[in-house]
Amino acid sequence: MKVVIVGGVAGGATAAARLRRLSEQAEIVVFERSGYISYANCGLPYYIGGVIEDPEELTLQTPESFYRRFRVDMRVRHEVTALHPDRRTVSVKNLDTGEEFEESYDKLILSPGAKPTQPRLPGVGLEKVFTLRTVEDTFRIKDYINARHPRSAVLAGGGFIGLELAENLRELGMEVTIVQRPKQLMNPFDPDMAAFIHSEVRSHGIKLALGRTVEGFEERDGGVDVLLKGENPLHADLVVLAIGVTPDTALAKEAGLELGLKGGIVVNDRMETSVPDIYAVGDAVQVKHYVTGQDAVISLAGPANKQGRIAADNICGGDSRYPGSQGSSVIKVFDLTAASTGVNETNAKKAGLDADAVVLSPMSHAGYYPGGRVMTMKVVFEQGTYRLLGAQVVGYEGVDKRIDVLAAAIHAGLTAIQLKELDLAYAPPYSSAKDPVNMAGFMVENLAEGVVKQFRLEDMNNLPRDGGATLLDVRTPQEYARGHIEGFQLIPVDGLRERLGELEPGKPVYVMCQSGLRSYIACRILAGHGFEAYNFSGGFRFYDAVMNDRRLTESATACGMDR
């Protein structure tokens, strides 16, 4: 059996290694257009920033090392230019010699990946306008920085690569501005959770131009003007397009393979395409979202590796299935860690799900043990069924641990309430006896059983402020003095029982504290004395962070630039 693989990196290289482990007899040939068969995409910004110093550290395998270990014929700088399913061959061009030839196959795996999205804008091809996807792209940017010593950069796009690159360029001392059409960075997060990311980015001197549309690029005064719709241009010494990636599926389209969302290759759960004996994996394929069941294109290394293994299993006679992509991810943003899994609340509602969420602000470990930091957690669930839909966590230590537990819970089909039952490891330096994940489960259970009712940030503007309800802040006088919401009267929770006479009977009470814990206790006190009480999800800390972010974004829009 002869297997030809188009593309290396995550999906293709994994498939090749798995094929060899399953069959010593298979002939395996990999054609990779770039000069590198397997490299760490996610490490590229950190090489530019100098965190990773040795360029060889980016290369996980070389053609020579791969051949020694697996006896796989890895041919770099070879571009597959056409597929011929009718005669089971591919056309190949050696990019170093110009030689063109056809290679036959019994089974074909397509792993072409994705390419940086490059809109058809004036000036996209300018020397100082870069993209970042391959090792070669990385070296071009690094060489330009070393030779020209740019002092400023504009990044078009605020996703994973854009944010990681912004941090690394800022650490090199550059003035950095991120321009993005949506009014938030990092679309896997809801806008309220993205506010914490914005705050961290701004605190390190990065300017955000959110809600702006890039219309082109022009060379001027030795640099580049980034042309914005309806606004003055931004000037920088270099520009990087990081507005996302597009499945690189031109070959598949020309060969008549079925394409779907965003031009991704349609595959079944065995990673088989619409054409017999052709498989596809990685960033180029359309998959099912594990939570919503809807078609999705999810460009992450984890899914690509799993898909490559599954394709290899099935080629060798197995019956491996891909259940869908969940989109679990984590990113370092200076000192902050931000992670997500499943679907956020925004996308859950777009998918037609009746979604709700709880927001909590637990400590990373036991409060009495030194060094604990507050994290912000948002757990999304389906109303009625309490099916766990997704989660977002932003904070410092312990964020990655919690998101992985929540990702496993979603995959296992647990409800949000069942999070309370998870038996998680505890010691004071690492967690609390009631882990934050358990706490989320307790909170959802309280909602489900009617122990407490909650109101959310989006409800704040609709609260009855004409005397039809009582708005109550149960923090300390010191906390209240540092900041509060107009119209909320102060009665600290520890003195609430003695001051119930100050509340008008028969009126609902909307209660707030710093994080949501003391206000929950206050709601239970109020309910025990006949009041209808609602607890504010997330507390004043959450409200203040989100509203401050909105003010800064709106102010920047009015003034033309983030400060």
pLDDT at residue 136, rounded to an integer:
87
Averaged pLDDT, 524-543: 97
Integer angstrom CA distances of residue 446 from 126, 340, 359, 450: 58, 24, 13, 6
Helix, strand or coil for residue 454?
strand
Order the strands of the 376-382 sheet from edge to edge. 329-333, 336-342, 388-395, 376-382, 355-360
Report whether 254 contacts 110 (CB < 8 A).
no
Q: Does the pLDDT at position 364 exceed 80?
A: yes
Exposed, middle or buried: residue 298 (CB in 10 Å: 0-12, 13-18, 19+)? Answer: buried
CA nearest neighbour of 209 among 182, 239, 179: 179
Model confidence band, residue 42 (pLDDT cutoffs 50, 70, 90):
confident
Neighbours of 90 (CB within 10 A): 23
CA nearest neighbour of 287 among 256, 314, 266: 266
Q: What is the pLDDT of residues 59-74, one digit of tens each?
A: 777 888 888 999 999 9
Percentage of the chain modeled with pLDDT above 90: 85
507/533 Cα distance (integer angstroms): 9
Model confidence band, residue 557 (pLDDT cutoffs 50, 70, 90):
low
pLDDT at residue 562, rounded to an integer:
56
pLDDT at residue 204, rounded to an integer:
97
| 286: β partners | 266
Q: What is the pLDDT of residues 385-408, one digit of tens each?
A: 999 999 999 999 999 999 999 999
399/401 Cα distance (integer angstroms): 5
Report whether 515 contacts 539 (CB < 8 A).
yes
DSSP assignment, residue 342? E
The string over 51-60, giving b where at least 16 C-beta atoms fall within 10 Å of a residue's C-beta and e elsewhere, is ebeeeeebbb
Instruction: Show the tokens assigned to 168.
Output: 């690394």
Beta strands 2-6 and 27-32, pairing class: parallel
DSSP H or E stretch at residue 364? none
251/248 Cα distance (integer angstroms): 8
Better-predicted residue by pLDDT, 125 or 73: 73
The whole-angstrom distance between residue 208's C-alpha and the CA centroid of its chain comes to 18
Active-site positions read 42
Model confidence band, residue 290 (pLDDT cutoffs 50, 70, 90):
very high
Q: What is the pLDDT of residues 232-265, one digit of tens each?
A: 999 999 999 988 788 999 999 999 999 999 999 9
Q: For 285-403, where are the E strands, in sequence order?
A: 285-288, 295-296, 329-333, 336-342, 355-360, 376-382, 388-395
pLDDT at residue 561, rounded to an integer:
58
Averaged pLDDT, 360-386: 94
pLDDT at residue 54, rounded to an integer:
84
Model confidence band, residue 542 (pLDDT cutoffs 50, 70, 90):
very high
Q: Does the pLDDT at position 117 exceed 90?
A: no
Q: Does the pLDDT at position 563 exceed 50?
A: no
Q: Does the pLDDT at position 560 exceed 80?
A: no
DSSP assignment, residue 183? S
Instruction: Show the tokens assigned to 229.
Output: 């719709």
Report whether 308 contacts 281 (CB < 8 A).
yes
CA nearest neighbour of 338 among 499, 184, 128, 535: 184
DSSP H or E stretch at residue 210? strand 207-210
Model confidence band, residue 14 (pLDDT cutoffs 50, 70, 90):
very high
Q: Provide the whole-model pTM.
A: 0.93
